Amino acid sequence: MKAKVLVVEDEEALALLAAAYLEREGIECHICGSGEEARIAFRGGSFDLVLLDINLPGMDGFEFLQELRLTSSVPVMVVSARESDEDVITGLSTGADEFVSKPVAPRVLAARVRALLRRSRIGSQPAGPRKTSSFGPFILDFDACMLSMGGKRVPLSAREFDVLAFLVDNPGKTYAAQDIYERVWGQRFGDATTVGVYIQRIRKKIEIDPGQPERILTLKGKGYRFNLEAFEGGA
Ligand code: CA
């Protein structure tokens, strides 16, 4: 079943752009230009996530969120041009699950929405086959955000899972640390060397010899590659 997102944004061009990218990811969107409109839409439909602008005509995003939280625990991603620490704190304490500051590339926004949808599904398993990927003795369960080896859970932090899931989703392709950072962290600017730290941690969990990695390869000057062939036959 398609995930459904309520997009609350008064700038029509921005709303349409975000919706276009989300729909490309197979996500259905319903756009509202005000909190009042969103209140009615939310009552009338079932949504898997709310993408919420803060500066809105009439009631602002925080007011909408506060009211929404009285009746719903739907995941909410706040997107705001107001990026003072105070606003972030207000957003998170009002019940936002994530805070994204504008401007944000629509591609990045769509990736973050998808990641939040995935995380929020841990609590409510959808019916039907689970999305999993197996390599050698490992099974990566995208819905439960879990890695297991031979039926036993391999502990991973949420971010380690996200990095691994991204690589597993794109086997055989080489990604620069910066690309991985943008796709997984959802931010264009930041310390991409963090990616290397996470790769090291993941290697300790999936490589036979983390000092001589074969499963997540480092290609000098190019980046990292998930090497599916290296799992054949190995434990
Ligand atoms: Ca606005």
* Same structural domain, 15 and 92: yes
Rounded to an integer, what distance in angstroms lies between the CA atom of residue 164 and that of residue 82? Answer: 32
- Measure the CA angle with vertex 22, ends 134 and 158; round to 5°: 45
Q: What pLDDT shows up at residue 127? A: 47
Domain hosting residue 12, numbered range: 4-119
Query: In the predicted model, what is the mean pLDDT of residues 170-183?
Result: 91
Q: Could you tell me which of 190, 177, 230 has the C-alpha nearest to residue 207?
A: 230
Residues 136 and 115 in one domain: no
Task: Give distance in angstroms: CA of 54 to centre of ligand 1.
Answer: 6
| Rounded percentage of the chain residues whose pLDDT exceeds 70 | 91
Cα 202 to averaged position of ligand 1 atoms, centre (Å): 40
Residue 17 is predicted with a pLDDT of 94
pLDDT at residue 88 is higher than 50: yes
pTM of the model: 0.54
Give 116 Cα–ligand 1 centroid separation in angstroms.
Answer: 22
Distance from Cα 118 to the centre of ligand 1, integer Å = 26
Long-range CB contact pairs, 127-136, < 8 A, 24+: 128/1, 133/168, 133/169, 135/168, 135/215, 135/228, 135/231, 136/231, 136/232, 136/233, 136/234, 136/235
Q: Are 114 and 212 part of one and the same domain? A: no
Q: Total structural domains in the chain?
A: 2
CATH of the domain at 56: 3.40.50.2300
What is the 105 CA–ligand 1 centroid distance (Å)?
16
Contact at 8 Å (CB) between 56 and 35? yes
In a domain, 127, yes or no: no
- Shared domain check, 139 and 109: no
pLDDT at 212 exceeding the cut of 90: yes
* Cα–Cα distance measured from residue 31 to residue 111, given in angstroms and rounded to the nearest whole number: 19
- Are residues 22 and 98 both part of a single domain? yes
What is the Å distance from ligand 1's center to 191 Cα?
29
Q: 109-158: per-residue pLDDT in tens?
A: 998 998 889 877 754 544 455 688 899 999 998 877 789 998 888 887 77
Place 8 in a pLDDT band, splitting at 50, 70 and 90. very high
pLDDT class of 50 with cuts at 50, 70, 90:
very high
Kindly report the average pLDDT of the chain as a whole number. 87
Handedness of CA 65, 22, 164, 179 (dihedral sign): negative
What local confidence, expressed as pLDDT, does residue 235 receive? 47
pLDDT at res. 45:
87
Q: What is the DSSP pairing of strand 146-149 with strand 138-141? A: antiparallel
Mean pLDDT value of segment 89-118: 83
Tell me which of 69, 92, 119 is where a domain ends. Answer: 119
Residue 81 Cα to ligand 1 midpoint, Å, equals 8
51 and 86 co-located in one domain? yes
